Structure 1
Amino acid sequence: MLTNPFYAGKIQSKFTDGEIIDGKHPALISWVEFLQVQEILSGRTGVYKVKAETPRFPLKRHIRCAEDGLPLTAYTVKRKNIDYYKCNRTGCKNNVSAKKLHRLYAELLDSYTIPPMLLEWFSDVVSGIIFEEDSEHKEQLSLLKKQKSELESKLKKCKVSRGMGDIDEDIYTTTVEVIQEKLAKIEVEMAKVKRNLSNLTSTVDEVVATCCKLGCLWSNSELELCQKIQNLLFPSGIFWDKENENYRTIDCNQALSIIQRISSGYKNKNEEKSENFSSNFKMCG
């Protein structure tokens, strides 16, 4: 039990190409606990040790054969140490090098890149979406500011009353202490809320940065992040068309699809301007 991933809710067999995948049966122990046990056992007795997944084949089961819709599997020609993806349907010759698929996939992701001239606009759009969803924090900050202003006004009136001799020293001291204690608590709460809003700003920066270099990010990430990017853009997977030697999208994340159209439109306009400039230059010559 301690060395079989089955008891951690996983399956590994020849039908999964040796890959450990999630099973449909209930787990008796968590996957984290299972890995911890393997680490202990491998160091003590040298028995079963789970190998960490590598991004050698990040597109496995994400890409489908355009002819029959089957997910592509992967293998390595050990003699040459060359990786390939292939369709397992009998008679199908959809077999292509991993290097080629990875390069073209990164190029596809780059088509969703935001043009430099539109970065500020895109940042504003993302900010609007994120901050709108976090309106609760903004309302909380607004309420705290109002409470702070009211307390500061009371503190000022208290000082004026003391200066005019309307209240004695003891009442003044007690009142000021109570107000200052409340102000201190509000300052602490405001700092927390501002920190949350600051984190949102970082989130905006991260989203914008990610959308500016999707291809590069995917090419240099670990398996888990690669798959997150893939599933974000193409939740239903993507087809590989061997006839045209390129990808064919099934469906795409709607937001990122809009980004691609904007990016393409921007590039096309720039190309048109460049062509018009060249034509005018020739005419002038």
Structure 2
Amino acid sequence: MRRAKKEGRYMGIAPFGYANKSKEDGSKYIALVEPDASVMRWIFEELAKGIFNTEQIYHMACRRGFKRTKNNMWGLIRNPVYCGKIFIPKYKDEESRFVTGQHEPLISEGLFYNVQDILDGKSRLYRPKIKTVVDFPLRGFFICPKCQKKLQGSKCKGRHKYYHYYHCEAQCKFRINSEIANELFIEDLNKYQPIAEVKKLYSSILYETHRDLANNAGEQKRRLVEQIKDYELRLSNARDLLLTSKIEADDYKLMKDDYGARIANLERELSTVTKDKHSIEELLVKGVDNLIKLSDSYLKRDLSDARSLIGLVYPENFTIHENKVQTARVNKIVESIYLINKQLKAKKNGTKDDFYLLSREVTGTGQITTSFLDDLKKLAFYM
């Protein structure tokens, strides 16, 4: 069994999303099976967003067809088999390690390690568990402009009806009518909608941007590979020094642990570099189409999906100051759409040269990074 694991074969009952299969020669393997695979992929993607906590995601996943207990889900999201890795435990003189599995990965290594960092508290923390109602869809995302604490929702009875407010429980006593806040939010959301009449232009500019990023990703990948080789060479030299008794075993162990940790971190970073080289035209078409109906999607979806959409467009909390939505960061793709909109309004009669300059400006802003493709996939398939 250990030899089989070293060969990258998964041993045992297939985890949720996979099924045990047999080849013609009788050898065993696991293969993705739908719809369970899509449900499990959705769980990882939702965890990576950091919008809902694990218990909330568990209940939403159950409605989508997840057929395991809450404790079982916790074990599944910790299992590296989903990113194509097989764990080899320590045995005698052999150190524990991961090997590349023969099965098809469900998610990327980058997504898997991002989720692990969130679960371990090394990345963006989960938003607190929030019981919300339709009148307060922004609760949990909306912070006080004075003290930066998250606003709560409450209602008070007027002469003829109830009035709903977002309010701060701190001494600043800030509050805003929920209807006004929701209207301002939708107005801000509309800024990021592409102009439908020039839909093809957005796809062209974003395609240019992706091509530039792909070239940058190639250079970044080359640099990381060189660093990994350098540390592997250092580790090999340390091993030679140990064998020739030029260093003590304790010193070698310290060097091995240090270089091993550095190599693992570099390999993790390498796994997050965009490797997608195929055409993204279909993703661009779907993504831009979905952004065109962004506010309609928000208004027509149920509460949980609407809140997921908020978290996708606004990765960080926002506030309202002087009747304007303010936030530290917006999704890189939608922010680029906003930039294109501004440039288009300034150029009523565009030329090929204008298009080239516009694509360079969007690329050069630094608003789109190597996470471009991940954001685009979410936008393309979310709505």
| TM-score between both structures, scaled by the size of structure 1 | 0.48
Over alpha carbons, which structure has the higher Rg?
1
Q: Which has the higher helix share?
A: 1
